[in-house]
A = this chain, B = another copy of it.
């Protein structure tokens, strides 16, 4: 929905508490009446904003999983292709990407448990899917280095989120892709790819 997408932009710039309904009205060109027709309250908006963001995020993840399914015979190649997709995606940006999960996590008192649960569930879904990719690679190429599957899966998300922050701090969008390449290199070293 247009309102949700435009408001997400405002929230990423001002924080949720720092975004006023009047700002949303000015940006989306709707009236207060229309706003409260669609949302019971500002905190109701917070919930739908996060649902929308998480839905998009999950659908990107699933699309990339589907797109890399062609590599089925080679699990390690598929894992690398998955990471490469995001490298390419973030190489194409000309301003730092920002994530609504992180935005909400840095003002947690503003949100209901329901809303925060969406964040946790989304991150656990990234863990689950990456864990499967890693497991496949591990079976195919028994690694000489020991590692915990879930933790190495989370490490992808950790690097993404951290890269968004450092990119933003230094106003250098290219950093995100660079740090994903470190994750890729780490995997290659673990699986002793040449």
Nearest 8 pairs between A and B by C-beta?
A162-B162, A17-B18, A15-B107, A158-B162, A189-B189, A161-B162, A161-B165, A15-B15
Chain A contact-residue range equals: 35 or more
Give CA–CA (A68, B109) in the complex, Å. Answer: 38
Is A27 close to B, CB under 8 A?
no
Question: Which of B12, B105, B155 contacts A182 (CB under 8 A)?
Answer: B155
Give CA–CA (A148, B174) in the complex, Å. Answer: 14
Judge whether A169 and B110 touch: CB under 8 Å.
no
Measured between C-beta atoms, what is the minimum distance from A162 to chain B in Å?
Answer: 3
A residues near B (Cβ < 8 Å) are 12-18, 98, 101-103, 105-110, 119-120, 123-124, 145, 147-148, 151-152, 154-155, 157-163, 165-166, 168-171, 175, 178-179, 182, 185-186, 189-190
Question: Which of B101, B179, B190 contacts A165 (CB under 8 A)?
Answer: B101
Question: Which of B103, B152, B154 contacts A166 (CB under 8 A)?
Answer: B154
Chain A, interface SS category:
helix
Q: Which residue of B lies closest to A126 (CB)?
A: B166
Give CA–CA (A148, B134) in the complex, Å. Answer: 26
Instruction: Kindly name the residue among A102, A157, A160 whose own CB sees the greatest number of chain B CB atoms within 10 A.
Output: A102
